[in-house]
Structure 1
Amino acid sequence: MTFLQALWHYPFLQIVMLAGLASAVASGVVGPLVVSRRLAFMAGGIAHSVLGGLGIAHWLGAPPLLGALLAAVASALLIAFASLRIRENEDMLIGALWAVGMAVGIIALAQAPGYSVNLMSYLLGSLLMATRDQVMLMLGLNALMLGLLWLSYRPLAATLFDPEFAALRGVPTGLLYACFLIVVALAVVVLVHTVGLVMVMALVTLPAATARLGTARLPAMMLAACGAALLAVSVGLATAYAGDLPAGATIVLCAALLYLAGLLIRHLMERRRRRSA
């Protein structure tokens, strides 16, 4: 049975595909902002601090994605506060959150009562185990993320790309920077269930980098990145289904191959243009 036939017959695969679609939207919308501002390390720091929230939530018997959401938003607000109020070095703080979050998560998961948790499912994702409730939460986070971006897009873009000018025009740059970090945190929580903590940065950056090969305009880049992420998720799921491979890792490899193909196409087009000139 092919992947398309299985997708038609099995409801659980439809839920998985819907989760992949939610991940593609999160990646495509947030990725261009992260790539354009070279903030991939920050997204990775928020992602790895999420393990602490996952571990504590499991230890307390709460939904793991709820713990991930709280940890991601808390990390985003801490980074914003340290950067804007106490002028702490962002890289040092992100590195500390990265390490402390991982350490707290591993200890909490190890000490949690009941059945033993497979740590690799959090590190590498467990997309094929997505439930209807988890997908609804992912879609809700996407809606919240898109709403925040819609309401603050112009002043947020000014804050990210020219904060001094934006401040002179009276734009609340500190509040908008914190809002941006919260949007990144929401996207990270959506992506964690798809590709895991280890490969969140890849799915945030690769579709956006692929889109950037064709356009420099931010709205067009977001649309193209959503398309690239959706293609990577779809092909990755189909390949994982056919070859019995880990879905998250396969999706990331598909995103990487798509980026390499984009680089090759651009190189061939530039070479052809030089020859015809």
Structure 2
Amino acid sequence: MTQDATTTTRVTVRIDGDDVSVPAGATILDACNAHGVDTPTICYAENLTPVNVCRVCVVEVEGSRTLVPSCSRVAEESMVIQTDSERVRHSRKMVLEFLGSGVDLSQAPEINEYSARYEADVSRYVNSRAVIDEPIRIQDELYIRDYDKCVLCYKCVEACGDDAQHTFAIAVAGRGFDNRISTEFDVTLPDSACVYCGNCVAVCPTNALQFTSEFDLRSAGNWREEDQTVTTTVCSYCGVGCNLELHVQDNEIVKVTSPVDHSVTHGNLCIKGRFGYKYVGN
């Protein structure tokens, strides 16, 4: 929810025929969530500023010429909104088909669920599609970059910038189909401004960025998420009190995340909290 939504003033909108009351300043997506509408999102995250690039969250607003992104459009009094009209469903289907035709979504289960829901058929473009085909970038022992899976949601850029780390090590480079997430002058990660907080990895929706530990297990055919346990604990490195979620497989920590709703971290960690766990197994 946007910061403006802290006042007691409320607005009422009509969503799919039902009146929904939300705090003034709330977005249409906030209103949809309050009403129990499961709205697909890719570039949106609770702890990031909406950038309006994926367009799968669009809804139909009465009086608006175009479909509007629900993640950033502020709800206004007496708005009439349709979240599942034929126009909305067709738009979402096309976006998902275009994404699936150009990148590898094999490790993006949430997006694949959306594609099934809207009956997206990427095979329609198999004869003329352009496919991203780049070698996986393994430049350190902490995380890898697989741009074949990147949907340019900009989440990693936002997490590296004003929304979290303020490092600005990565940005969008190139134009059109050559758009890529890149370091300055495309230098290697160790030579860039990256501080290895891993906050970019945490927000990536497609596993284009992933822990090297996860990548190695997947490559060996031994990544078994269904067998993993997740234990919440407190980081042992300093007194800030960051919460850690330890993902454990075969009695070994395989990666570390942090809860988005935690008041200290908001899902973000430093290099020690995110990657400094191997001492546990020594």
Q: Give the TM-score category using the shorter length.
A: under 0.3
- Structure with bigger helix share is 1
TM-score of the superposition, structure 2-length normalised?
Answer: 0.25
Which protein has the bigger strand share? 2
